Amino acid sequence: MKMKYFKFAIYSLLVILISCSNPTEKTENIVGINKSTEKQEISSKLKDGDIIFQSSSSGQSQAIQIATKSKYSHVGIIYIQNNEIKVLEAVQPVQLTNLEKWIDRGDNNHYVVKRLKNAETVLTPEIISKMKELGNSFLGKNYDITFEWSDENMYCSELVWKLYKRITDIEIGKLDKLKNFELSHPIVQKKMNERYGNKIPYEENVISPAAIFNSDKLFTIKEEN
């Protein structure tokens, strides 16, 4: 009797051990399905010309957020090529980045996507083609660490603003002078000293990610917390 009970106990334990591996496999499959579903959901919502925002924990990101009083410090523009979604962005250098990689780089993977309110009538295939052609001409340019208003180098919000202005004649956000930002904070001052020394170009035209984000010409189509 004891032997039968012992065999039954061993058998039950084996069943439990074997069954314990299945939930893990199912969970992995569910996670994979969720990621795939999320990717499809994002892909179905985004269009060429959409503008995407994020922030990071870098020193520059913090300085930009403080100086512009904004949650967001980086911005790019959506490109769809061969059914693949990419972000044209001004980093080092200006480049096209896979959307998933771009999102992963952000703080807590948080991002917001906005779209021109009259995009259906303005962003025609011909206009999108011209925007991409101009954007491609900026590829490989160095990141503009001094935020100068020239095409020699390029920073993120400058890239997005110029694409819209030059191709559609629409100003997404208002240009401002560097002197009008919050420059007194120690974190901002540190970055300013690193970049300019004692020759700060206070009168330089600047377009910030915040100015684009707050533009009344855009509306939000996607926000991932």
Tens of pLDDT, residue by residue over 152-166, are 999 999 999 999 999
Confidence check: pLDDT of 57 > 70? no
Specify the higher pLDDT residue, 39 or 160: 160
Give the distance, in angstroms, between the CA of residue 116 and the centroid of all CA atoms in the same chain.
17
pTM of structure = 0.80
Cβ–Cβ contacts within 10 Å for residue 119, how many? 20
Mean pLDDT of the chain: 84
Strand order in the sheet with 94-98: 94-98, 84-90, 74-81, 51-54, 111-116, 218-224
Confidence check: pLDDT of 31 > 50? no
- Hey, what are 98's tokens? 């896979």
What backbone torsions phi and psi does residue 170 show, to the nearest 5 degrees?
Answer: -110, 130
Give the distance, in angstroms, between the CA of residue 163 and the centroid of all CA atoms in the same chain.
17
* Predicted local confidence at residue 54, as pLDDT: 95
Q: 4-17, pLDDT tens digit by residue?
A: 444 444 344 333 33
CA distance 75 to 174: 15
Confidence check: pLDDT of 205 > 80? yes
